[in-house]
């Protein structure tokens, strides 16, 4: 149990340090103000495009699932 707690704590500390350093690279202290707006907008547009492209595959699989004949169950008579 103690080992799991120590490993979890180390993972949390590593995650915090990693995100802080990434934030300092993306948004430097003396950096331009447009980077604070453009970076999240570009990231969200990129992720939106990837979701649009990948979700088409999931939509076709889901549509194929609806084309299968479904069993209809009658309610049990008590």
pLDDT of residue 20: 94
pLDDT of residue 54: 77
pLDDT tens digits, residue range 14-56?
A: 999 999 999 888 888 888 888 888 989 999 999 988 888 877 6
In a domain, 46, yes or no: yes
Q: State the pLDDT confidence band at 69, using cuts at 50, 70 and 90.
A: low
Please indicate whether residue 71 or residue 56 has the higher confidence score (pLDDT).
56
In a domain, 12, yes or no: yes
In a domain, 68, yes or no: no
- Give how many domains the chain has, as a whole number: 1
- pTM value is 0.48
* Domain with 16 in it: 2-54
Buried residues in 26-55 as b, exposed as e (16+ CB within 10 A): eeeeeeeeeeeeeeeeeeeeeeeeeeeeee
pLDDT tens digits, residue range 4-17?
A: 999 999 999 999 99
In a domain, 26, yes or no: yes
């Amino acid at each position: 149990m103690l080992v799991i707690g120590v490993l979890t704590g180390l993972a949390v500390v590593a995650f915090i340090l990693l995100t802080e350093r990434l934030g300092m690279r993306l948004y430097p202290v003396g950096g331009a103000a447009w980077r604070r707006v453009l970076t999240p907008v570009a990231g969200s547009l990129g992720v939106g495009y990837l979701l649009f492209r990948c979700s088409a595959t999931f939509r076709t699989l889901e549509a194929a699932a609806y084309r299968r004949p479904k069993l209809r169950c009658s309610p049990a008579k008590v």
